[in-house]
A and B are shown apart, each in its own frame.
Chain A
Amino acid sequence: MSTLTTEEIKAAALRAMLSVTEEEAQVYVEKLEVFDEYVNKLNELDTENVEPMTHALQQENVMREDVVTDVLDREVMLENVKESKDGQIKVPTIL
């Protein structure tokens, strides 16, 4: 049994900016049916006093001098944009 329902899939899709049809949501429910099993597996372990590990290596405060280094030109960065005008990206109506 999965804890994920089609409603939850659709809610996640809404947050992930992804359109998903009812049929697709059902497919993902099936594909994610191990969710519960995996959560249960993790819950076998007592991690009360374990610090979360966010990265493979603990690196802290990687600093650099606050100087401008080479960056790409605006025209170059716009090369992969579908539509642009006067150095700005064009998108459909927002409001």
Chain B
Amino acid sequence: MTLFSKTAAELQSLLHNKEVSVKDLTEESFARIAKTDDDVQAFLALDEKQALQRAEQLDKEPMDGRGPLFGLPIGIKDNIVTKGLETTAASRMLENFVPVFDATVVEKINNAGMVSVGKLNLDEFAMGSTTESSAFRTTRNPWNLDHVPGGSSGGSAAAVAAGEVPFALGTDTGGSIRQPAAFCGVVGMKPTYGRVSRLGVIPMAASLDQVGPITRNVTDNALLLSAIAGVDPKDSSSSAKEVLDYQKHLTGDIKGMKIGVPKEYLGEGVAEETKNAVQEALKVLESLGAEVEEVSLPHATYALPTYYFICASEASSGLARYDGIRYGHRTEHAQNLDELYRKSRAEGFGEEVKKRILLGTYTLSAAHYESVYKKAQKVRRLVAQDFANVFAKYDVIIGPTAPTTAYKIGDTSIDIATKNASDLLTTSVNLAGVPAISVPCGFSNGLPLGLQVIGNHFDEATVYKVAHAYEQATEFHTRTPAIWEGK
């Protein structure tokens, strides 16, 4: 067992009573990583020396004025830049790349007094949903090492589930925080688009990407979002809306709240055990006084093709910066500048990344711009409008986070209905830009299932309130994988 079975508040009280120091917590994180990460493979880089030095400094800070996250260890997805610490986006393109500034979210966790222990694995440039497209390693699900942790924030979710860190940062473009959180039995929040600064976040799709927290419980998640959210003058897409103290909204009182359950979210491709777990969760919420009704998001099945074209188009544009000139991989086989660009990019990018660049370039070409790209943007509005229509009458929307439990590593036999359901459940949220959380809601064959709670724009407080009330009425979040006790 580890200290990280405790909540942030419990750890703070240990710190205040001098039962543990920040250094102890930091050492605990590295000890846990040493014990479990040979199996889990969540981390791409560790920052042990710096982290321990920082911990010693933080231990000297007076007790008054320490915030709720002070001294707590955190892991950072490796597509978020960290000054002086290698940041690769799990791509050969950025192998050995050492950023010269910190992402705004990294500055914010530092200001909160957190201790960053290292960088977490992901699908290359966050393009994938299993973490298998990482150029460097395959992360494994702590609940069953033969299974994937989900993705693209697979390292972040696995590290938290394995008790290596109590906190992690992930990014979510089409489900990349929520789906791995569901697969690993932890809590993952994708905030409203613009709620968290993207400065220093290596882009996949600029109009969809958002940073968010992955934790073991809803309260800790709310604390971390309050710390990282807010307007950033260096990211003009970040919102100036006031950041709430989300923890204050975790009252457990959801009496009279109206919950909409889209029939499209419990359709084809969603496994029976998933449907059952969601139905059980809805009963729990009803027993707490919420009103549950079926609703419809009529354009839900259009989210996948819409996402497919918009995401690839934005990625092809966003990844144009990797030219082998200013940073990143540079070929050694170029006779002239043109070859330098082409070969550097061909050698540096993996297959999935190239596929999306080619698709995006094709989609944005003069012949297809109107008929495909602009068409997708129009359908995006219809997908988003569906959410607005439901939120006019309901407080939150609830469904599964993922249609099944985690796949087996290397499984190429996943049927198309499952894949389509998977994208349907998560991508529409990014297209609409609304916030959504995944919380554990059951197990099937020893692997976790996730419940997705979706809210209206900038209404993270309500999402957290519902997720927290549900969590406190159930015990799924208290379970830990066998790896916690040693093998």
Contacts and interface: CB of A to CB of B under 8 A. Distances in A.
Interface in B194-238: 194, 207-208, 233, 236-237
Given A45-B302, A80-B98, A93-B337, A53 B346 contact: no
B239 A72 contact: no
A45 B351 CA distance: 32
B342 A19 contact: yes
A79 B97 CA distance: 10
A45 B378 CA distance: 10
Contact of A56 (B207, B305, B316): B207
Contacts of B381: 50-53
Interface in A50-95: 50-57, 59, 62, 64, 69, 72, 76-77, 79-82, 89, 91-94
B100 A53 contact: no
B104 to A, nearest CB: 13
B7 interface: no
Interface residues of B, number: 68
Contacts of B101: 72
Secondary structure type dominating chain A contacts: loop
B143 interface: no
Nearest to A16: B361
Contacts of B365: 12, 15
A82 B208 CA distance: 32
Contact of B345 (A12, A18, A72): A18
Nearest to B207: A55
A66 B106 CA distance: 26
A47 B370 CA distance: 12
A56 B193 CA distance: 6
Contact of B305 (A18, A38, A64): A38
Which residue of A76, A80, A94 has the most chain B CB atoms within 10 A of its CB atom? A80
A80 B354 contact: no
Interface stretch (B161-169, B320-328, B399-407): B320-328
A42 interface: yes
Given A55-B237, A72-B101, A32 B378 contact: no
A54 B358 contact: no
A92 B335 contact: yes
A9 B380 CA distance: 26
Contact of A64 (B233, B334, B382): B233
B357 interface: yes
Given A8-B362, A53-B378, A76 B100 contact: yes
Contacts of B192: 56-57
Nearest to A15: B361
Interface of B: 97-98, 100-101, 192-194, 207-208, 233, 236-237, 239, 299, 301-302, 304-306, 308-309, 316, 320, 323-328, 330, 334-337, 339-343, 345-346, 349, 351, 354-355, 357-359, 361-362, 365, 371-372, 374-382, 384, 430-433, 457
Given A51-B381, A62-B237, A92-B336, 14 more contacts: A13-B361, A15-B361, A18-B354, A38-B308, A42-B376, A55-B433, A56-B192, A56-B194, A59-B236, A59-B239, A79-B100, A80-B97, A80-B100, A81-B327
